[in-house]
Chains A and B, each alone.
Chain A
Amino acid sequence: HMLHAAGIGYAEKVRKTGNVVATYFGDGATSEGDFHEAMNFASVLKSPVIFINQNNSWAISVPRAKQMASETVAQKALAYGMPTVRVDGNDIFAVKYAMDEAVARARKGDGPSFIECVTYRLGDHTTADDARRYRDPAEVEAWIARDPLIRTRKYLENRKLWDQAKDDQLQERAKTIVKEVVATAEGIAKPEVRSIFENMFADVPPEMALQRDTMRTSSLGKYPDQVGLQGEALGTRH
């Protein structure tokens, strides 16, 4: 999708909206050819794009050192002639500062910028992943101590802008929201079977409509008079 960002940004430029595009990607993604093509296209087209690399050190089980031999991700942007910066990705103020600068540049028509945010994947890659198989628990512990939420909270508490009561309130609110969202998600009905055939094209082509209407039959579209989705929808079974 990084190439799409170059195109989306160019469209904003053509339409003179003043909007800026932000594209987010991991350290592993910077190995794909698309990444390099996107940075080249965005800088050549002076597309208002901010490339934001969330360098969390792990692409599933592959550590950064096996992903790239370059010392930083940020330096890759140098080759494409765009301003680039490497920030502590767990410091929200550093990230905001870098973003403000990049947004201002893009708005001025100075083209894309690159921000490498150094962070860490605290959890597993997916529910099927078990990160204990390939990384040192001590490394994870060290990064938990740098958790941006904990850091920001401590900062705010030191400035007397936050306290336990406010935090309890926030936790309660978060729990309520999560409960509501889960309840809503669980309440969503199973999608209609016919939706399989929708959104393939703006209109459902006749051949696809035939497949839809005969999907429960043996050979698709061969015996349209047989029981299919049409029959079910009408409540009539042959």
Chain B
Amino acid sequence: MATLNLVQAINLALQQEMAKDDRVIILGEDVGPNGGVFRVTEGLHAQFGDARVIDTPLAESGIIGTAIGMAMNGLRPVPEIQFDGFLGPAYDQIVNHAARSRSRSRGAVTVPLTIRVPVGGGIHAPELHSDSPEAIYAHSPGIKVVMPTTPYDAKGLLISAIRDPDPVIFFEPKRVYRSFREEVPEDEYTIPIGEAKVVSEGDDLTVVTWGASLFQCIEALDNAPDDVSIELIDLRTIDPFDMDTVAASVEKTGRCVVVHEAAMTCGLGAEISSRVQERCFLHLLAPVQRVTGFDTLMPYYKLENEYLVNANRVGMAIRETLAY
């Protein structure tokens, strides 16, 4: 079995879906001969040609709007938006058109579209290149939001997203792109959208996270006392998120810490925390804690690591919640 990083696993999923289904089309800025600024579409232009791997004009609203039209008319477009902050100009097309078309037409006009977007901070990029906007799109009805973190999950979830009958935003934590490798089967497989993964099992406390913060959580778990048993959940899908897995875990452990890189206010941590108290109130031994980014913009690189959630803060939250 090949050992791949996140970039390679996503590339493999794209390559296999394109080979299998000629309705799958890639479009975006620099995705062609250059293979995308992160090289995620490397080699696909050479294999599938100009008609299926399209270097578009520089216009995010244009990329998504055109992809919506393709999707409405029988294709399976997989547009790439170069950076998280560049979703802004496409927001109108995503929220007001892609997400509403099925409802607006009572199911007659659907938009099977997968928007790939590198997400998050930690690569010393300038502004608009380090945002975590997943909650904005989770809050918008009619669009699914996925954020795999490991190469194995990314391949399986991307194939599911491409085959999904509705629009999906597929966030790729760019800090993880080349940070580690794992075994990824060459054979085709899917991971259902909406299923969380229990990364490690435990009885005393549940940590819920997603995206690049997964690794700070693993570090915090490694640093936790040996007599403490912590369950770590990688949500993988942001919307619709897997509340059953979270609730089953919290009912077992009675304690929950939610960790995310995005800003705190109206972040997904608020939603999870609220649902946990609705579903698991009588099981709770401590209030749910959130470890999150600040309600500020991502600072420039010299302060970037001050913004990003670290294992120290996660470890504190674990200790406080256990001691409550």
- The reply to whether chain A is a binding partner of chain B is yes
Residues of A whose CB lies within 8 Å of any CB of B are: 28-29, 31-34, 59-62, 66-68, 128-129, 133-134, 190-191, 193, 195-197, 200, 207-208, 211-212, 215-220, 222-223
Contact B33 A196 (CB under 8 A): no
**Distance in Å: Cβ of B319 to nearest Cβ of chain A:** 8
Find B303's partner among A34, A193, A220 (CB 8 Å cutoff).
Answer: A193
Measured CB to CB, the nearest residue on chain B to A35 is B59
Find B57's partner among A34, A67, A208 (CB 8 Å cutoff).
Answer: A67
Measured CB to CB, the nearest residue on chain B to A211 is B294
Contact A196 B62 (CB under 8 A): no
From B58, B60, B265, B294, name the one whose CB has the most chain A CB atoms within 10 angstroms: B58
- A213–B272 Cα distance when bound, in Å, is 25
Q: Is B297 an interface residue (CB 8 A)?
A: yes
- Given A197-B296, A218-B317, residue A62 in contact with residue B302 (CB < 8 A): no
Contact A218 B316 (CB under 8 A): yes
Measured CB to CB, the nearest residue on chain A to B32 is A61
**Distance in Å: Cβ of A206 to nearest Cβ of chain B:** 12
Q: Is B134 an interface residue (CB 8 A)?
A: no
- Given A128-B37, A191-B302, A219-B290, residue A68 in contact with residue B296 (CB < 8 A): no
Contact A191 B264 (CB under 8 A): no
Taking CB atoms, residues of chain A closer than 8 Å to B33 are 61, 133-134
- 8 A Cβ contacts from B124-180 to A: none
Find B296's partner among A61, A133, A196, A222 (CB 8 Å cutoff).
Answer: A196
Contact B307 A196 (CB under 8 A): yes
- Given A31-B62, A211-B294, A218-B291, residue A61 in contact with residue B303 (CB < 8 A): no
- A126–B289 Cα distance when bound, in Å, is 41
Contact A208 B58 (CB under 8 A): no
Q: Is B244 an interface residue (CB 8 A)?
A: no
Q: Is B15 an interface residue (CB 8 A)?
A: no
- B interface bracket (residues with beta carbon within 8 Å of A): 35 or more
Contact A60 B297 (CB under 8 A): no
- Given A197-B294, A208-B296, A211-B295, residue A218 in contact with residue B289 (CB < 8 A): yes
The contact sample of 10 A-B pairs, CB cut-off 8 A, is: A32-B60, A61-B33, A191-B300, A196-B299, A197-B294, A200-B296, A207-B265, A215-B306, A218-B291, A219-B291
Contact B289 A222 (CB under 8 A): yes
- 8 A Cβ contacts from B282-324 to A: 289-292, 294-297, 299-300, 302-303, 306-307, 312-314, 316-317, 320
Measured CB to CB, the nearest residue on chain A to B300 is A191
**Distance in Å: Cβ of A9 to nearest Cβ of chain B:** 22
Taking CB atoms, residues of chain B closer than 8 Å to A220 are 264, 290, 292, 294
Taking CB atoms, residues of chain B closer than 8 Å to A216 are 312-313
Taking CB atoms, residues of chain A closer than 8 Å to B265 are 207
- A59–B60 Cα distance when bound, in Å, is 14
- A35–B225 Cα distance when bound, in Å, is 57
Taking CB atoms, residues of chain B closer than 8 Å to A211 are 264, 294-296
- A126–B249 Cα distance when bound, in Å, is 46
Measured CB to CB, the nearest residue on chain A to B126 is A126
- Given A32-B89, A60-B34, A215-B306, residue A68 in contact with residue B295 (CB < 8 A): no
Find A31's partner among B32, B59, B296, B299 (CB 8 Å cutoff).
Answer: B59
- A211–B296 Cα distance when bound, in Å, is 10
Taking CB atoms, residues of chain A closer than 8 Å to B277 are none
**Distance in Å: Cβ of B294 to nearest Cβ of chain A:** 5
Taking CB atoms, residues of chain A closer than 8 Å to B35 are 133
- Given A197-B296, A220-B264, residue A29 in contact with residue B58 (CB < 8 A): yes
**Distance in Å: Cβ of A74 to nearest Cβ of chain B:** 17
Taking CB atoms, residues of chain A closer than 8 Å to B297 are 200
Contact A207 B29 (CB under 8 A): no
- A207–B312 Cα distance when bound, in Å, is 23
Q: Is B251 an interface residue (CB 8 A)?
A: no
Contact A33 B61 (CB under 8 A): yes
**Distance in Å: Cβ of B310 to nearest Cβ of chain A:** 10
Taking CB atoms, residues of chain B closer than 8 Å to A197 are 294, 296
Taking CB atoms, residues of chain B closer than 8 Å to A128 are 37
Find B299's partner among A59, A134, A195 (CB 8 Å cutoff).
Answer: A195
Contact A31 B57 (CB under 8 A): yes
